[in-house]
Structures are given as C-alpha cells and as structure tokens.
Amino acid sequence: MATFLVAHGAWSAGWAWKKMRSRMRALGHEFITPTYTGVGERAHLARPDIDLETHISDVLGLIEYEDLRDFILIGHSYGGMVSTGVADRVADRISQFVYLDAFVPRDGESLLSLQPEATRTRMLEMARTAGGGWRVPANPMPPDTPQPDVDWAMPRRMMQPLKTFEQPLRLTGAVEKLRRSYIYCSRPAPGDGFRRFYERAQKEPGWKHYEIYASHNPHITTPDELASLLHGIAAS
C-alpha cells in the first residue's frame, strides 16, 4: 500500500526496526530502514568528522539510487534532525512526513541547541571523558523496556559522533509545505523532552497529531500498536 523510509535515532541503526519490518510487510507496505555512517553495521566507518550532513547524505543517497518516490518519511528521535534535512531537499518525492517522538528543528538549530543546558553539558562531558572527545556514549533504554530487549539492543547501540549533535541544520522552508504528522509517545519517562514538539504540532497549521501509549522506542516495545498507527496514517 505504501513505502515507508525510516531515519532512525541516535546510537541506533536499521537493526532496531527489525520487529517493524515483518509487521509492516504483513500489512502490505514496504518498510526501508537504512543505517547511518558510523553506527550499527557501519560502525567500522566511524570517524571524528562525521556530522549531521553525513547522515542526511546517507539517506539522500539511498533515495536517489533506489529511485524512491511518493514515500512516507519517518524520523525517530535524533532522526527528526536527519529526516528534516532530507525532506527539505527532496520534498517533491515525499507523500507524508511522520515525526515519531522526534526533534522538530527550525533553520539554524542543532540537536544540542534544542537540549536543556544541563543535558547539553552532560553530553559534552560524556564525549570528553568516555568518547575520546568526539563520540557520545549511548543513553540507557527507557525503564519499561523488557529485559530481553535491553539485552538485545544495548550491545548494538554504538557511540554517536559528537558533530552529528553539534552541526546546525540549514533549511529553506520546503518541509512546511508537506503533510506532516507527529506521534507522541505518552508513557511517562524521565527527562521526556519531546512533548514540546507534540504541543507545537497541535498549535501550528498543517499538522496531524497522535499519541501512542509507549515510551521512547515503540518500534521495540509496542511494535503492533505502532504498525497499526502507521498503517492508518498511510491510509488517511
């Protein structure tokens, strides 16, 4: 019925969406989950100069070489930064744009600039003390994540190049013309920083907005519910 393309979150990769691929195929959709340079199965390519533009280029390259058109773009968490950069450049190829508990940047903003000062300071300190000055160690999984999923996911979560969080995003305004949806993960979690983007989607024109009772990684903890919601968005 539809083709979905996922821009995954920080420290993560295409592997994290394994549960979703079979469920979306069963609903008749194509579900594409590429991995950015320097993480996941591409961790061997990690280097200090990888920045946000590198990850945007990763996804743009896949779109170009697979000749994807009329697809639904999903940005999860940090993937909201990547997907916004992608959508700004190939808006004519995108049918809908879905932010899943994701950052929604404006022109000139970086992920670090969207963080509270205390969080920004903590991330920079972690990069200095544990990441060799250029990588940020992964955050822990949300506390409601079942232990088997924690055991599966945490060894696969790679440190993220710091420049991907530091580089400002430059936008032309093309994204604001797309059909956009925001899915907010409403299960309480410490340090939830995404509700403000959900509230923004409720106030600004051009948005649809949804809630899913899950913590930050519904593709891992509640894949059936997320698949059903995405299926409905595709059919809308």
- pLDDT, residue 107, reads 98
- Please say if the pLDDT value at position 229 is more than 80: yes
**Mean pLDDT across 137-158:** 96
CATH 3.40.50.1820 given to domain 3-235: yes
Would you state the torsion angle of the CA atoms of residues 124, 126, 132, 138, taken in this order, to the nearest 10 degrees? -110
Instruction: Report pTM.
Output: 0.97
The band of 192, judged by pLDDT with boundaries at 50, 70 and 90, is confident
- pLDDT, residue 159, reads 98
Q: Burial of 148 by CB count in 10 Å (0-12 exposed, 13-18 middle, 19+ buried)?
A: exposed
- pLDDT, residue 190, reads 60
- Please say if the pLDDT value at position 219 is more than 80: yes
SS3 of the chain: the string is CCEEEEECCCCCCHHHHHHHHHHHHHCCCEEECCCCCCCHHHHHHCCCCCCHHHHHHHHHHHHHHCCCCCEEEEEECCHHHHHHHHHHHCHHHEEEEEEECCCCCCCCCCCHHHCCHHHHHHHHHHHHHHCCCCEECCCCCCCCCCHHHHHHHHHHCCCEECHHHHCCCCCCCHHHHCCEEEEEECCCCCCCCCHHHHHHHHHCCCEEEEEECCCCCHHHHCHHHHHHHHHHHHHC
Range in 5-19, 89-103, 161-175, 189-203 with the lowest mean pLDDT: 189-203
Q: At what angle do helices 223-235 and 18-26 cross, to 10 degrees?
A: 50
- Please say if the pLDDT value at position 188 is more than 80: no
Give me the percent of the chain exceeding a pLDDT of 90.
97
- pLDDT, residue 191, reads 59
Q: What is the pLDDT of residues 22-77, one digit of tens each?
A: 999 999 999 999 999 999 999 999 999 999 999 999 999 999 999 999 999 999 99
Q: What is the pLDDT of residues 92-126, one digit of tens each?
A: 999 999 999 999 999 999 999 999 999 999 999 99
**Mean pLDDT across 195-220:** 96
The band of 236, judged by pLDDT with boundaries at 50, 70 and 90, is confident
Residues labelled as active-site residues: 77
